[in-house]
Amino acid sequence: MKQSFIFIGLLASQQVFSHIPDFSAHQTQAVYADLNLLKQARIPVLYADNQTNIGYSVLTPTMLQKLSELSHQHGRCGNFEALSQIPNDINIVKKDLDAVNKQHKKDLSYMSVARNLTVAQNPKIAEALQELKADNIKQTVTWLSSYHSRYNKGANANVHVNDFYEKMKLMTANSSFPVTVDLISHRSTPQKSVRVSIKGSTKPDEYVIFGAHYDSISGWGGTGRAPGADDNASGSASLLEAMRVALTKEQPQRTLEFMWYAGEESGLLGSAEIAEAYKVEKRNVIAVLQLDMTMFPGDGEFKITSITDFTSPWLRDYMKALNTTYLNIEILDDKCGYGCSDHASWNRRGFPAVFPTEAKFNSMFQYIHTDKDVISSVMSFEHSLVFSKIALAMALDLGNSTQREALH
């Protein structure tokens, strides 16, 4: 059944390759991935959406390694979302990518109209931002990068997860409002995700979500030492510091959820399952912020990058408005292709997402996914603190707001 579907898919798509690979002798993985990278890697594309530049392929381990290595040459992570199974009907793939295409057209429509989105300054938020400490980020990055590896499919995939979970329970134990901490199990990886939920006071069914992945990887198959200081102990630490201060403030009107995802490095595994569950449950997700790599100021300290593909233009404008009101840093624009981080999981399922990161992709830290991804003099915890400020300002402002992406 699997082989016949692949053959039909190859015939139905606009295939640029002349051969049909023998998948039967290999364990295969269905993915949605950056179309250009698939073509550069000479991987058969079984279905493609040229407008959004997403391709669907079924990969052997060798193909997956080639795709990963090529994406690293471009300064990116894997640039793919691993699917839980090979779809038994190409129309399932078409439906998924049609939905992304529809969202893409909505985004283009939004951007075709000039807007001047502003955020009024709130003295309480300005004061709260001063409570964030770069040294706390340093301590967390030091702790997380001290593990031999945080690889999501390794023998010790949950050692740091369980330690992190216990730390979250201690941090939230004395909260004056309802907070829950839970571990989320996944089908696609033995590693678990951690979620901290601060229940909204008046609009508990409206969710503002903040995410970072805390797995790490080094080399093909995750066999090496993987300290993952920048990728992504840094984003995890920036998020934790924002949550620390948010817990000391008044209960938000909307529910705030802070998530540390499992298995991003293997194809957005944890975030994809969570986002899919939220879609099935029809949760009212107002916004999703993704923090992935926050510590290397490749374009200069306090110059960060906003990823403009597979993110919400409304949220990008909102983040820039927060910057004008509270931070006054420089925000550059760049693209990273489909699946470069967990925001793609949410975007593909119709949720507004935004992804600020440390630098433009040709300037990012070059030693990610190696044993050299460690704290060093080239890193800046003050730079990483910028992302804590974005997350905290968003939590305190959007968490107590009626703002949302315009529904079409």
The conformation of residue 405, written as its DSSP 8-state character, comes to P
Q: Cα–Cα distances in Å, from 311 out to 138, 289, 291?
A: 29, 10, 13
Task: Report the amino acid identity of residue 393.
Answer: A
Tokens 């399952």 -> residue: 273
The set of residues, in sequence order, having a beta carbon less than 8 Å from that of 33 and lying 6+ positions away, is 54, 55, 56, 57, 67, 79, 80, 81, 338, 339
Residue 384's Cα: distance from chain center in Å? 16
DSSP tag of 281: T
Return the closest-CA partner of residue 56 out of 86, 76, 17: 86
Task: Name the nearest CA neighbour of 338 among 86, 95, 67, 90.
Answer: 67
Place of tokens 């938000």: 252
pTM, to two decimals: 0.92
40: number of Cβ within 10 Å: 15
What angle is formed at CA 247 by the lines to CA 246 and CA 253, rounded to 5 degrees?
Answer: 70
Q: Which residue has the tokens 């993985």?
A: 29
* Domain 123-398, CATH: 3.40.630.10
Q: Is 161 exposed, middle or buried (0-12, 13-18, 19+ CB in 10 A)?
A: buried
Interacting residues of 139 by C-beta distance below 8 A, sequence separation 6+: none
* Cα separations in angstroms, 267 against 7, 29, 64, 70, 78: 24, 10, 10, 15, 7
CATH 3.40.630.10 residue spans of the chain: 123-398
Instruction: Please tell me the predicted confidence (pLDDT) of residue 181.
Output: 98
C-alpha distances (whole Å) from 69 to each of 100, 170, 336 are 26, 40, 15
Q: Supply the DSSP string of 219-263, one letter for each residue.
A: STTS-S-B--IIIIIIHHHHHHHHHHHHTTSPPPSEEEEEEEES-
pLDDT for position 219: 76
Q: Is the peptide bond preceding residue 232 cis, with omega within 30 degrees of 0?
A: yes
pLDDT in tens, the chain (408 residues): 333 333 333 333 333 322 233 344 358 999 999 999 999 999 999 999 999 999 999 999 999 888 887 877 776 677 899 999 999 999 999 999 999 999 999 999 999 998 889 999 999 999 999 999 999 999 999 999 999 999 999 889 999 999 999 999 999 999 999 999 999 999 999 999 999 999 999 999 999 999 999 999 997 667 789 999 999 999 999 999 999 999 999 999 999 999 999 999 999 999 999 999 999 999 999 999 999 999 999 999 999 999 999 999 999 999 999 999 999 999 999 999 999 999 999 999 999 999 999 999 899 999 999 999 999 999 999 999 999 999 999 999 999 999 999 865
Q: What's the Cα-to-Cα distance from 295 to each of 83, 133, 259, 402, rounded to whole Å? A: 30, 14, 19, 32
CA-based torsion, 63, 69, 71, 74: positive or negative: negative
pLDDT score for 67: 87
Burial (0-12, 13-18, 19+ Cβ within 10 Å), 280 = exposed
3-state helix, strand, coil in the chain (%, to 5): 40, 20, 45
